[in-house]
Structure 1
Amino acid sequence: MDKGFVYESLAFYSESMRRYMKYSIYLPSNYESDFRKFPLVYLLHGYNGNELNWIQKGQIDQTLNYLIYKQQIPPFVVVMPDAGNSWYIDSSEDNKYESAIVNDLGNYIENRFEVSSERENRFICGLSMGGYGALKIAYKYPTKFYAVGSLSGVITRQIPPKGKIETVQDDNWPFTSENWEKENIFNYLDSLKQSGVNIPTYLTCGYDDFLGLYLGACDLHHQLQIKNLLSELHIKAGNHDWKFWKEEIKEVLKFFTKIIEIY
């Protein structure tokens, strides 16, 4: 079984952040020999995570190697940005993580690597905080992404409880009652529907999740169904941990593959 190439903690300059930001990237084994533009997946980390989590804790490279070898998924390029505890939002002039990832990183990756610039070959997913970020970004920029996946995503109509997520206090908490009205995933559903762009959504969460995040996943799935927006909901045995995420990322990648084949 051929192994892909993994490059950890690389850096790119973000105009939005006015500084360098880190990212890691996975390139499939045929990246240098196959002259094509590869499909791209943005893979977002959770709270207190970084650009290394999906590699060091999630063994995502091993998962990709196996699924590509078994021809269960195409040879994806996977980029994993570091976003601190930003929740993937633009919270201040000095912390524009959403813009940095959607615009700066996106442009950099497409110029630096042999990846497709077509929306039909661009996907985004994440776990916990990253599950929230992936959904919010996909729904806010529906012309940029073809499908989205959320693993144990923090999906809530109320502001995420400060200090409860990962049980750590954060003095730089980005949410206020004012900006939550803008950053709430549910508040993007009407504009998503009006855009006429259907973004297939894969929602998964463990029914033993200690944060009870399956409730938000069920709520969002229900709202998507009401609006006739494509969504799959999977509530399975498992907690809010890497054991669950390492298995479920396989299903998300297969879901993305199915979307490519269907459309």
Structure 2
Amino acid sequence: MALIQCQFYSEVLGLSTSMHVILPQETRSQIGLEGKQGTGPHPTLYLLHGLSDDDSIWLRRTSIERYVASLGIAVVMPQIHRSFYTNMEQGGAYGTFISEELPALARSFFPLSAKREDNFVAGLSMGGYGAFKLALQHPERFAAAASLSGVIDLHAARIDPIHKAMSSAEWSHIFGPDEIRGTDHDLLELLQRHATLGTSLPLLYQCCGTEDFLYEGNQTFRKACDTAGIPLTYEEGPGTHEWGYWDAKIQDVLAWLPLKGR
């Protein structure tokens, strides 16, 4: 695998930011790795970080580089800070950055496929929210989306802001002072809109540990999918909000992805 850290200027954000990228590399001489080189533009997984992390965290806390070595896919891990992958009420337009500018820049830097069937998004915690938000706001762009212990019921999270990890002031800086429910920030609302329209959605995968403080919010989303008749691969089991759980579950996500030629 080739691992690249990119520092670049974002026109949307008006500042320099960064991403880590894993690219497929054919190799048989690296201990423990059997790299697979794809032909043509690479299928791509956009892998999103959580509230307290950055674009390096998946590399530092899991063996993601080793896990994808035999799959022939690229992994793009962007820096989003504490923005919730959202055009902030008082702050940067991170929603536009992650959905529009980042994919275009990444494809201009590297040979990445733009085809829907070759693009996937996944994330943990805040990144789980970001992954489902991207998939539900732009279903035509992704074949699959996965949330690991995601903050996916924002209405419930706002009542008790992310287990005290955010102040009410920070929350308002991101989403504004008004009610979340029924807005474009609300994944449950987006889900219902698609159910009404009969949209062809990406495949959805959701997991959460039963001891996680976000478990109830994850149950709400699962039940909403059931009610709306939207297919969802759902997994739960013992686990809290920590990297041992996510290191294990990202391997399940990679096994689940609908990669061509598998």
Same fold (TM over 0.5): yes
Which segments of 5 or more consecutive residues in structure 2 lack a partner in the other structure? 27-34
Contact 2:36 2:72 (C-alpha < 8 Å) held by counterparts: no
> How many Å apart are 1:34 and its aligned residue?
4.7
Q: Distance in 2 between matches of 1:136 and 1:178?
A: 19
1:27 equivalenced with 2:23 (yes/no): yes
* Identity across matched positions, percent: 27
2:253 alignment partner AA: V
Match of 1:48 in 2: 52
2:186 alignment partner AA: N
> How many Å apart are 1:157 and its aligned residue?
4.9
> How many Å apart are 1:150 and its aligned residue?
0.3
Which segments of 5 or more consecutive residues in structure 1 lack a partner in the other structure? 69-73
Find the partner of 2:184 among 141, 166, 182.
Answer: 182
Change (3 A) 1:214 1:108: same
Find the partner of 1:85 among 78, 82, 86.
Answer: 82
**1:58-97 paired onto structure 2 within 5 Å:** 58-65=62-69, 68=70, 74-92=71-89, 94-97=91-94
Change (3 A) 1:196 1:169: closer
2:202 alignment partner AA: I
> How many Å apart are 1:198 and its aligned residue?
2.1
RMSD of aligned alpha carbons: 2.3
Contact 2:107 2:113 (C-alpha < 8 Å) held by counterparts: yes
1:91 alignment partner AA: M
1:110 alignment partner AA: R
Q: Distance in 2 between matches of 1:237 and 1:214?
A: 11
Match of 1:71 in 2: none
Contact 2:156 2:217 (C-alpha < 8 Å) held by counterparts: no
Q: Distance in 2 between matches of 1:33 and 1:62?
A: 14
> How many Å apart are 1:227 and its aligned residue?
2.3
> Following superposition, which runs of at least 4 residues in structure 1 exceed 4 angstroms of deviation?
31-34
Match of 1:205 in 2: 208
**Counterpart of 2:178 in 1: which secondary structure?**
helix
Match of 1:252 in 2: 253
Find the partner of 1:103 among 100, 105, 110.
Answer: 100
Q: Distance in 2 between matches of 1:48 and 1:168?
A: 9
Which shifted more, 79-88 or 169-178?
A: 169-178
1:192 equivalenced with 2:194 (yes/no): yes
Q: Distance in 2 between matches of 1:54 and 1:253?
A: 14
> How many Å apart are 1:162 and its aligned residue?
7.8
Match of 2:170 in 1: 172
Q: TM-score, normalised by structure 2?
A: 0.86
Q: For 1:173-231, what per-residue CA distance to the aligned partner results, in whole angstroms no more than 9, with x for missing partners?
A: 3123536232011110133231621221100011111x1x2222222122222322220
Match of 2:30 in 1: none
Q: TM-score, normalised by structure 1?
A: 0.86
**Counterpart of 2:98 in 1: which secondary structure?**
helix
**Counterpart of 2:82 in 1: which secondary structure?**
coil
Contact 2:147 2:207 (C-alpha < 8 Å) held by counterparts: yes
Q: Distance in 2 between matches of 1:199 and 1:32?
A: 25
1:175 alignment partner AA: F
1:152 equivalenced with 2:149 (yes/no): yes
**Counterpart of 2:218 in 1: which secondary structure?**
helix
Q: Distance in 2 between matches of 1:257 and 1:34?
A: 15
Q: For 1:61-106, what per-residue CA distance to the aligned partner results, in whole angstroms no more than 9, with x for missing partners?
A: 12223xx2xxxxx311000001000011001474111111111111
Q: Distance in 1 between matches of 2:193 and 2:74?
A: 30
Q: For 1:233-256, what per-residue CA distance to the aligned partner results, in whole angstroms no more than 9, with x for missing partners?
A: 101111100000000001111111
Contact 1:162 1:169 (C-alpha < 8 Å) held by counterparts: no
> How many Å apart are 1:33 and its aligned residue?
6.0
Match of 2:241 in 1: 240
1:121 alignment partner AA: D
Match of 1:119 in 2: 116
Aligned length: 248
1:232 alignment partner AA: T
Contact 2:38 2:73 (C-alpha < 8 Å) held by counterparts: no
Change (3 A) 1:29 1:163: farther
